[in-house]
Amino acid sequence: MGFRTTSSAVSVAAVAIAAAGFLSSSAARAATSAASRPAQLTGTHLLAALLPAADFPRGFTKSNAFSTGSRLEKPQTKVNLATVSCRTFLVNLPERGYGETAVAGDVIGNSRSQGFDQIVFQFPSTSKAASFYRGISALYARCRSVRVASGGAAFSLTTQSLTQTRVGGHETLLVNDTIKISGPDKILDGTTINHGLFTLAGPDVYSVDAFGTPVLPASPSRTTTVLRLIARVQAAR
């Protein structure tokens, strides 16, 4: 499940039914230091670098776009991933507040309640990005199975698999899970399948999720999607 998958799942249900060792020479150390402070993009620029709808199947359109805007954020950590409750994780995990300097994302979906979400979290250094990646990985491991009642509806999350791997040489967490929603307002009822990932690349953490209520879109794969997204963001720098 992608970072906003719970939010995306609810939106889809509601709308559609809505570092590395240190080198010894001073020149190498200077290069390493420079690499840990890469060029920063604003939220507006990150939003423009997201994959276009044309990269997805015919009939998929963009919605729910958001960003932190035209200025870099002050990198303050307001959300402690180590203490976030599993309830908050499922129904109300914030999109920002993790010490990032910019965030942008959107959802690309079709009329059959299938879609993808893509989010880029940019941090002031590679080490800060890595810390966020580790925190998210630990949170997913801690909250593999969650049931919550909220607003008269029942939400449940069942995680089928969590896999640490590499995609394009980048550390990646693959997440496969299912979210079920039921309640008095039947328009919210549904089961959403999520195949998501988080990829750590330099100062950024990328979240990509393919979701379906109840059938996943056939293509593109989440790994293909994240590699395309990384290339676009890096080119924008």
Residue 226 · residue 210 · CB < 8 Å: no
How far CA 58 is from CA of 25, 110, 190, 218, in Å, comes to: 52, 9, 24, 12
Output the pLDDT for position 23. 36
What's the pLDDT tens digit per position in 122-139?
999 999 999 999 999 999
Q: 5 phi and psi, to 5 degrees? A: -60, -40
More confident residue, 164 or 190: 164
51 DSSP 8-state letter: P
Average pLDDT over every residue of 55-82: 96
What's the pLDDT tens digit per position in 15-66?
333 333 433 344 444 344 444 456 999 999 999 999 999 999 999 999 999 9
> Which residue has 């604003």 as its token pair?
42
Average pLDDT over every residue of 140-156: 93
Give the bridge partners for 146, in sequence order.
Answer: 157
In one-letter notation, the amino acid at residue 189 is D
Output the pLDDT for position 196. 98
Domain spans of the chain? 5-19+41-236
Q: 163 phi and psi, to 5 degrees? A: -130, 125
What's the pLDDT tens digit per position in 165-215?
999 999 999 999 999 999 876 666 799 999 999 999 999 999 999 999 999
Output the pLDDT for position 194. 97
Question: What is the architecture of the domain spanning 5-19+41-236?
Answer: 3-Layer(aba) Sandwich (3.40)
In one-letter notation, the amino acid at residue 13 is A
